[in-house]
Amino acid sequence: MPYLYLISSVFFMSSSSVFGAFYNRKSAGKKDAPALYSFIYLFTVFLGWAVLFAITPSFEWKVLPYSLAFGAFYTVCQIGNINALKTGPTVLTSLMLQLSLIAVTAWGFFFWDSEFTWLVGVGLILVALALWLCLYTGKKKVGEDKKISLKWFLLALMALVGNAGCSIVQKTQQMKFDGEHGNMLMLFATGISTAFCLINYLRSDKTDGKAILKTSAPFPIVAGVCNVLLNLFVMLLATSTISPSLIYPVLAVGGLSITSIFSALVFRDKLAWWQWLGIAVGALAVILLSI
C-alpha cells in the first residue's frame, strides 16, 4: 500500500502545473481568469482540510501565527504559479517551484542545524547550472519573441519564494509542536488564503466569470482535490516503511517528469535543447538536495 500512495502522489505532484496550464489555455483571452482559478483552487483545498480537521481535530492558540505566515506564503505561491503558467513554459515554471528546496536547504543551515554535506554542495552547484541553462534564451532572431520574459521570471520567483516559505513554516511548526496540530495549521492557513483570493477576485474585472466557470471550473477543483490527497498521502508515507530519502526525490522528479511530458507533447512548449538539459540537471539537483 505505501508504494501505491507514492505512485499516486507522483501524479498529484504534477497536478498544480498541468491543470493550471490546461485552465489557462481553456480560458485564454478572458479577463482575470487567474484570480478566479486561485479562489476556486484554494477554496477546494480549504474544504479538504476542513474534512481532515473534523476527523482528527486539535487546537492550540500558539499555532495561529504559523497559520497566518503559511497562509501568506501560500497565497503568494499560488498567485505567482498560476500567472507564471500563463506567461511562460509549463515545465520551467514547475522546475522553479521544485527549486524552492534551495531556500529551504539554506534556512536549515542557519536555523535547524542541518549538516552541510558534499551532496548538498554539488546539489547547489547543479541548481545554479540548471537555472543558467533554463533561463538562457540564446541569440534572438529577427521577429522572434523571447521564450523567457522578465514578467514570467518574476512570477515564477514569487511561486518559488512562496513555496519555500510554506515548507519552512510548516516544518518549523511541526518541530515546535512535536508533529501535532498539522491539520489545524493547514485549515486556518488555507482559510486565510481563500479569503484573500476571494477579495482579490471580487476586486477584479468579473466580466467573463460565468463563461470561465462554464468551460474551465473543473480544472482548479480537480487540482485542489489532488493537492489535498497529495498532502494526505505524504503524511501516510511519513509513517510508512519507505525511507524519506526515497519519498521526496521520487515525488519531485516524478512530478517534474510528468509535467515535462505534458509540456512537450500536449502544450507544445518550444524550448531549446540546452533548456531541456537544464531541466534534467535541475531534477538531479532536486534529488541531491532531497536526500
| pLDDT tens digits in sequence order for the chain, 291 residues long | 777 878 888 889 888 899 999 999 999 888 889 999 999 999 999 999 999 999 989 999 999 999 999 999 999 999 999 999 998 889 899 888 888 877 887 788 777 777 778 888 888 898 889 888 888 776 655 444 456 788 999 999 999 999 999 989 988 998 899 888 989 999 999 999 999 999 999 988 888 888 898 889 999 999 999 999 988 887 777 677 777 667 777 887 888 888 988 988 888 888 888 888 988 888 888 788 776
Which domain, by its residues, includes 79? 2-290
126-287-158 Cα angle (round to 5): 70
CA distance 133 to 273: 9
Burial (0-12, 13-18, 19+ Cβ within 10 Å), 144: exposed
C-alpha cell at 77: 505561491
CA distance 238 to 150: 38
C-alpha cell at 11: 501524479
DSSP-assigned letter for residue 57: -
Q: Which residues contact 179 (CB under 8 A, 6 or more apart)?
A: none
Number of structural domains found in the chain: 1
